[in-house]
Structure 1
Amino acid sequence: MGKISEKSLTDVMKERHSVRKYDPNFTISEQEIKDIIKDAASAPSSSNLQPWRFIVIQDQETKKELRTIAYNQEQVETASAVVAVLGDKEMYKSTEKVYQDAYVAGFMDKGSMEQLIANANRTYTNAPEEVRKNIATFDAGLISMQLMLIAKERGYDTVPMAGFDKQKFIERFNVSERYFPILLLPIGKAAAPAHNTTRLPLEDIIIQSV
């Protein structure tokens, strides 16, 4: 199990880099991958519907297959695990469970629960599929960033990958029509340092301050 760092969040953020060379002999337990995902699931989401799902890939032969789907990018095969992040375009189907759980936990009264369920069902069921996919993609980005930071805090490295054949992925992993693949996230131990990068200066990225 990776040792959780005592460094500040700012330090972890600065030390996180996209790593593409991994030690193929290094392993992370399935339980620790689950722990990382569980911690990352505190990420915010639209109406708290949590429209993200994951496929965890650790089997070596499966990773070799995935490498062909990912345009032969070696990190898919050499990382300890690959977490595929999927979006849930029918997130409204989780509405009652989400709000009933919050009610049972004592976070809201019954009237508030019923009102929130009605509002969410009306909003999301009537939204076009493309709108719902955009919402799920945005929310998946929030949890993916948390996954990367939590992994780094535990001493592991990651690289977010949007470059893979999504249709072939759907076919290989029998992804239902409800979900759609967004990115692959290899997690492991770096075998070589990441490339240094620069960032645009602050005056270029703040376009207004009023």
Structure 2
Amino acid sequence: MSELMNNDFSKVMFDRHSIRQFDSTTKISREELQEMIKQATTAPSACNLQSWHFIVIDTPEGKAQLKKAAMRFNHPQIDTSSAIIFLAGDTKSHEVYRDVWQKVYEAGKIDKTKLDNILNTFLPLYEKATPEFLTLDATIDCSMVAMQLLLIARAHGYEANPWSGFDFKTIIPTLGLDAERFVPVMAISLGKPAKDQQVLKTDRYDAKTLTEFL
């Protein structure tokens, strides 16, 4: 793992802002992009299903393809970013669930009783689930890993912009994915901010007005 450029949690989290104009001359290697994705996937997921899938778009051809389903106001962060990572929820991740936990068992991390308990408790829940349940579950998982990816990008010395301004009906087939399996969640543009980029530092709502205690 490469050394993180920014390992100050408070700066990584509280100084994060969405960037829409990037320095188009900055390139992020695919090796580093893959490393950031690997680090982001330490995020939690429902029943450890890890229902996320990543499409990395870092070529002019890929960006042109993405723009076919993206709203025009998001074209600047497509055109200028070093890469866009599109997150799609995998509604069939449970189909490999048995294999994942079998490997955990074979590695000696859990015993047979624990393995049987996991497979008999959680797997039937997903095998019998409705499409709506699976879609929501995968969307939540992707949201968790997306936030982690935003922070990881800052730790690597980059900035990012999460966005969902695309046609939800066409984005999945536009990116070459199976529309019966994958659901769109969001895209994240990554790179170095343009030198003339003016960051809008918005205020947050008063957390007290959004909180209830029971």
TM-score range, shorter chain: over 0.9
**Aligned partner (choices 120, 123, 142) of residue 121 of structure 1:** 123
**Aligned partner (choices 175, 181, 184) of residue 184 of structure 2:** 181
TM-score by length of structure 1 reads 0.93
Residue in structure 1 matched with residue 111 of structure 2 by the alignment:
109
Residue in structure 2 matched with residue 71 of structure 1 by the alignment:
71
Gapped regions of structure 2 (runs ≥ 5):
none
Moved more, 7-16 or 82-91: 7-16
Instruction: Report deviation, 1:3.
Output: 6.1
Residue in structure 1 matched with residue 54 of structure 2 by the alignment:
54
TM-score by length of structure 2 reads 0.91
Question: Is 1:205 aligned to residue 207 of structure 2?
Answer: no
Check the 8 A contact 1:49/1:95 in 2, yes or no.
yes
Name the count of aligned residue pairs. Answer: 209
1:160 match: secondary structure: strand
User: Taking structure 1 as reference, are residues 168 and 202 closer, same or farther at Cα in structure 2, changes over 3 Å only?
Assistant: closer
Deviations 1:99-153 (A, max 9, x none): 1122123221022112211222211111111011101101110000000000011
What letter corresponds to residue 130 of structure 2 in structure 1?
Answer: P
What letter corresponds to residue 195 of structure 1 in structure 2?
Answer: L
Instruction: Report deviation, 1:172.
Output: 2.0
Instruction: Report deviation, 1:194.
Output: 2.2
Moved more, 16-25 or 194-203: 194-203
Instruction: Report deviation, 1:154.
Output: 0.8
Over aligned residue pairs, what C-alpha RMSD do you find?
A: 1.8
Query: Would you identify which runs of 4 or more consecutive aligned residues in structure 1 move more than 4 Å?
Result: none
Q: Percent identity?
A: 33
Instruction: Report deviation, 1:168.
Output: 2.5
Check the 8 A contact 1:54/1:84 in 2, yes or no.
yes
CA distance in 2, matches of 1:84, 1:133: 16
Check the 8 A contact 1:28/1:80 in 2, yes or no.
yes
User: Taking structure 1 as reference, are residues 39 and 58 closer, same or farther at Cα in structure 2, changes over 3 Å only?
Assistant: same
User: Taking structure 1 as reference, are residues 82 and 6 closer, same or farther at Cα in structure 2, changes over 3 Å only?
Assistant: closer
CA distance in 1, matches of 2:188, 2:140: 16
Check the 8 A contact 1:79/1:187 in 2, yes or no.
yes
User: Taking structure 1 as reference, are residues 54 and 6 closer, same or farther at Cα in structure 2, changes over 3 Å only?
Assistant: closer
**Aligned partner (choices 152, 160, 163) of residue 161 of structure 1:** 163
Check the 8 A contact 2:6/2:157 in 1, yes or no.
no
Deviations 1:16-62 (A, max 9, x none): 11110111111000010000000011010111010001111111122
Aligned ranges for residues 72-151 of structure 1 at < 5 Å?
72=72, 73=74, 74-151=76-153
